[in-house]
Structures are given as structure tokens and as C-alpha cells.
Structure 1
Amino acid sequence: MEETTIDTADLGEKIVRVLKTIYDPEIPVDIYELGLIYDVFVNEEYDVRILMTLTTPNCPVAETLPVEVEEKIKSIDGLKDVEVEITFDPPWSQDLMSEEAKLELGLL
């Protein structure tokens, strides 16, 4: 009997693809390129934990954005549980944005 192994790289890519469909409503750049996603953890049970931040603690989407992330990631086949954790340590800054996001916003 062969043990099935998770292709976490493939799963990670799928998660990133979904994250890139979620946009901050105030900035026309997806949350992944904005640098709001700090980490994505996937374990052997297909549980996903996403550590993310918001542009500010009083961000108008503080209530809805984490829920949107959780719901969209849950739509990926094969995942059991998805947990989104918000942190402000370290606080978000423009330095966390990808070159692509900075270019899009005219910061380069």
C-alpha cells in the first residue's frame, strides 16, 4: 500500500492563485501582491492556516476581508479546514508590496 503524499507546492500555488483574485477595495491591487499575506501553512490533514494583515487596524474591510479570504480558499477542492488569522506584527507597510503592485500604484 502506497502512502499518498500531499503536493504542498501545488496546493500552495492554487491558494496563491485564489488569493490573487481578492482585492483590497481601496487599492486596485490584489491582497497577495499588496503583501497582506504573511504566511500560508498547510498540514498533512489538508488544513490551511493563513496569516495575514490589513493595511491599517481600522481598515474598513477588517470584518469582511478575512471572511472573503476564508470562503474563497475553502472553495479549493480537497481542503478540510481553513483558518485566517489577522496580525499587525509586523505592521503592514508599502515595503511589503511586490514590484508589480508598486508599479501599478505608480510608486516606482
Structure 2
Amino acid sequence: MDEAKQVKEAVIGKLQTIYDPEIPVNIYELGLVYNVSVSLKGGVHVKMTLTSPACPVAGSLPGEVEHKLRELEFVTQAKVELVWDPQWSKDMMSEAAKLELNVM
């Protein structure tokens, strides 16, 4: 496995430890993360959304994600970009998340 792939997998692993406080599923399995880009120079860029533009954690969750990603020893810079297109829907959740929340 090449280094970039290992770095990306570690970033995804860290994203899987971050939860929307209102939903008992991590943001990755919830389908809120649309794209993860990593550079071997230590930069991480995450495009993500929220369940709704009116989500109460809109002001805090992106900063929390950036903070958690910077905990990884190889990350020197973390940037989270909130996007609203495409709009999040329950269809974006992983099968495991759908089972956890009884969404089928």
C-alpha cells in the first residue's frame, strides 16, 4: 500500500471517531463526508456537509473535525469545507449506519 493511501485511511479512521451530537453514528458512516484529499506534505482537505443547513452544530463541528485531524502526527494543516450540494439525504448513510438507526 502506498503512503498516500495509508495517510488517507488514517484520516478516514479519525473521521470515524467524530459524532454528530444528535445522532449516535459517526460523521463518516452518516455520509456527511463527501471527499477527503491528502498531501504527503501533511495537508488534509475534507469536503463535508451537515444533515441540514440549520443544524445546531454548524458553527462548531467543522472546527472540531479540523482539531481532531490535527491530532494525527503527520497532519500539519487541516481544512474543512462545508458544502451544501449535493444536499445530504439518508440515502448517503452507510448500510451499518442505516441498521444502527433503523433506516431501511
Provide TM-score, normalisation by structure 1.
Answer: 0.91
Which residue of 17, 20, 23 maps to 1:24? 20
TM-score by length of 2: 0.95
> Which one of the candidate residues 31, 49, 52 is aligned to 1:56?
52
For residue 45 of structure 1, what is the amino acid of its counterpart?
K
Structure 1 segments of 4 or more deviating over 3 A?
Answer: none
Q: CA deviation at 1:95?
A: 0.6
**Number of equivalenced pairs:** 103
The Cα shift of 1:44 comes to: 3.4
For residue 91 of structure 1, the aligned residue among 82, 87, 95 is 87
CA RMSD of aligned residues (A): 1.0
Q: Which runs of 5+ in 2 are unaligned?
A: none
Question: Percent of counterpart pairs with the same letter?
Answer: 50
- Residue 38 of structure 1 and its aligned partner are, at CA, apart by 0.3
Summarize the alignment of residues 59-74 of structure 1 with structure 2, pairs less than 5 Å apart: 59-74=55-70
Partner of 1:3: none
Q: What amino acid sits opposite 2:39 in the alignment? A: N
Distance between the aligned counterparts of 2:13 and 2:82, measured in 1?
Answer: 20
Alignment of 1:43 onto 2:39: yes
Q: Secondary structure at the match of 1:22?
A: coil
